[in-house]
Structure 1
Amino acid sequence: MGLVSTSSPLNPRVVIITGMSGAGRRTAAHAMEDLGWYVVDNLPPSLLPNLVDLARHNNIGKLGVVLDVRSRTLFEQLGSIFAQLTGEGIDIEVLYLEADDAAIVKRQESTRRPLPLQGDGRLLDGVVKERAMLSTLRASADLVIDTTNINVHQLSARVAHAYGGDDGARIRVAVMSFGFKNGLPLDADLVLDVRFLPNPHWVPELRPQTGLSEAVSGYVLSQTGAEAFLDQLESLFDTMTPGYIREGKRQVTIAIGCTGGKHRSTAMSEEFGRRLRAKQIGVTVMHRDLGKE
């Protein structure tokens, strides 16, 4: 008599790729496909449980699903569908792509395509409606990426950091330097300000250099309060991490800002990234505004 397997199919890791039209959903989806994910585009939300069940029984371990607001009625079913899948032991992660109104309008005009909720109104009217409809989903997203000021290659790199590599990694961190004069990063979970440190901009030999240089980094880190700031940020992160893990949050973005994003924030971000790597934490360091000064 042959043996009959009684093992149950393994639940796949499921990431919903959603967000504003024109914010980069397709680019993110292609990046995940390149990482070995099975990605389905424009799936009616009501079919999500069937797709997850299909993936479960065909040993598809990584499933990405692109959802948009093309159908308001179907999209409004997402809450109950997520609840159903959670009850079946499926952890749903949400990747939300964001961009400001001006960027979305410019991108849509260049492609000459209307927005799903635009109707007979202006492009901006469609943006406002779509943003309002997606607000609850954005608030509950596991990872928000603001693509306003990044290109497709930078977006692909962020997706690769978040969804490539070892699935066993407990948490992944993106440390982002930025300049307050260019606006707050919309996709940060934690925003820190290092403008309390002396600005290398006022040191003639350091002004043309960036925080990536040894001279600027050494200057910044030697200032009173710099190491203490990093120590306390490290302690704060250690306190928050267990809670993030309990809540199923795998991706954390920490933004460190100075005036222009060239010297202090860049040096401090690099050093904090180094500290996290020393703890075997998956981390990538990005400099949003470097080169814009």
Structure 2
Amino acid sequence: MNDQAQLAEHFDRSRGHLRGVAFRMLGSADEADDAVQETWLRACRADSASVDNLTAWLTTITGRVCLDMLRSRSRRREDFADLTELDMLAPHEETADPADEAVLADSVGLALLVVLDTLGPAERAAFVLHDLFAVPFDEIAVIVERTPAAAKKLASRARRRVHDTADVPSSDLVRQRVVVDAFLAASRAGDIDALLAVLAPDVVRRADAVALRGQVRAQAEMRGARAVAEETRTNIRRARFAWPALVNGAVGAVVAPHGRLQLVIEFAFSGDRIASIDVIGDPARLKEVRLGLADCAAAVAEPSVRRQFSVQSA
């Protein structure tokens, strides 16, 4: 196929796929659109006459574009200067782009975007292209400028970080996930009774100075289920950006508007209740946190466990 019109037709059919690749590699819908546009420009300048698999060829170009973008933005990340801005980001039906909201809410998950953001550019490219889109390592090797064996090692190293090993038995991990799901659902709903159902009576909430920024009458430490529940109810907008994740080997949560990590919430548990909550926002502390996907099978938890809570996971 060497006709420009035919190339354009195939590109349009592949646009959704290419945007999906770019979004997972970049974690930004806007940047994904830019990457897809750049892919088209590069494809137009290249000779596609001898290309047997145009979709694979376009995917390779997109991978190269995204890798270049990942490398160039490493020192100019577009993070929010103040967490108070986060409270203004809650989606409104009249202004939100349904397509972008759908992308953010799809099977990728905000937690995966956050964990992918901890990887180096080459690791992220190798993992996303191979594990999520089944691109062969010999093609990935060309993109990351390594040998196929080295590309395979990059993906393997990234996979271990993404699927971090929990420090607790799988049965405990499932129960933790159920509790955290219930806590987050209650937080989004502002449901005091549901929050009290998952908080231990003597629960302690701690937060660093960055996490408290912009909060009215915020305290570094708060004790007691009622006090913590009342405070949590004031954070509904932040809760909308919260997603379960593996935090230092146990189930916790990340607050990540549009996949950009802002807060990590670390929980300690006492049975089926939350005994302590540590809210981390300081960039230096965030770098020390071990993150992974909380991909335990919470959905298969015993029904008796879920029935303890009045709010189901969102």
Q: What's the TM-score, normalizing by structure 1?
A: 0.30
Q: Which is strand-richer, 1 or 2?
A: 1
